[in-house]
Amino acid sequence: MELEPFVFRHDGVLIASRERGGDAELNREVSRFALRELREEEFAVFTLDLCNNQVDKHHSRFPEGELEKIGRMVPGRPLMERHDVRGSLPRGMFFRSRLHRDGDTLSVRPDVYVLRTEENHDFILNIEGGVYRETSIGFSFGLPECSVCKKDMRTCDHVPGQSYSGERCHYVMRDVLEVIEGSVVSSGSQGTGFVAQARALPLVDALSAARDSFHAPVEVWSAGIWNR
């Protein structure tokens, strides 16, 4: 049975404002996404620690191979506010990304540029002033792998956050399909669980719905019945 991919939101943090001074290479990288070459004074650049390989507060974790894939997918995706992809236009654009290792933690660290327009003035000021600090990435993935039994978590009975034989269960997010956007949010990862059909579901409810769908009986119809 083919299962629908999950859309999820995973939290991160803004870590730096990029100081510039005659950086021609930076201008060229930014201008790849513009219709003309942008001048240095026309945009601000910020670095985000977008996601990493540690178990988070939602009891989920990226394996390192998926982080490499996300890093390749991020450039060209928009920076939004509060994951509002339907009601708002982007605030910025991710234009490059790298992986950063600090001990056992591997993070995706993309750079994003935001145009210094009148509309973006307060947005940029709040980032530079440390008021807007937290970020979240919206993406879809195909396989939530149970850390206990290694099965698709939609098909097993383990519950993330609960302990089994001394091991706290979490799910490993495999088969990342798409990076939808990155967002600046007021409190990291606004989504409290899986998101299906643009409707946020708490983790336990999302798993329950997915498991009910997986175990639903399959109805098979024969055309011959109607020809009698």
Domain assignment present for 228: no
Question: For residue 184, what are the domain limits?
Answer: 6-216
Residue in 29, 6, 167 with CA at minimum distance from that of residue 97 = 29
- State the total domains in the chain: 1
Domain assignment present for 71: yes
Domain assignment present for 227: no
Write out residues in the chain with pLDDT < 70, as ranges.
Answer: 1-11, 15-22, 85, 187-206, 213-228
Domain assignment present for 226: no
pLDDT at 83: 74
pLDDT at 226: 45
Domain assignment present for 223: no
Question: Six-digit token pair at 208?
Answer: 């329950």
Domain assignment present for 35: yes
pLDDT at 66: 96
Question: 48, 127 in Cβ contact below 8 A?
Answer: no
Domain assignment present for 188: yes
pTM of the model: 0.76
Question: 62, 45 in Cβ contact below 8 A?
Answer: no
Domain assignment present for 224: no
Question: 71, 52 in Cβ contact below 8 A?
Answer: no
pLDDT at 198: 32
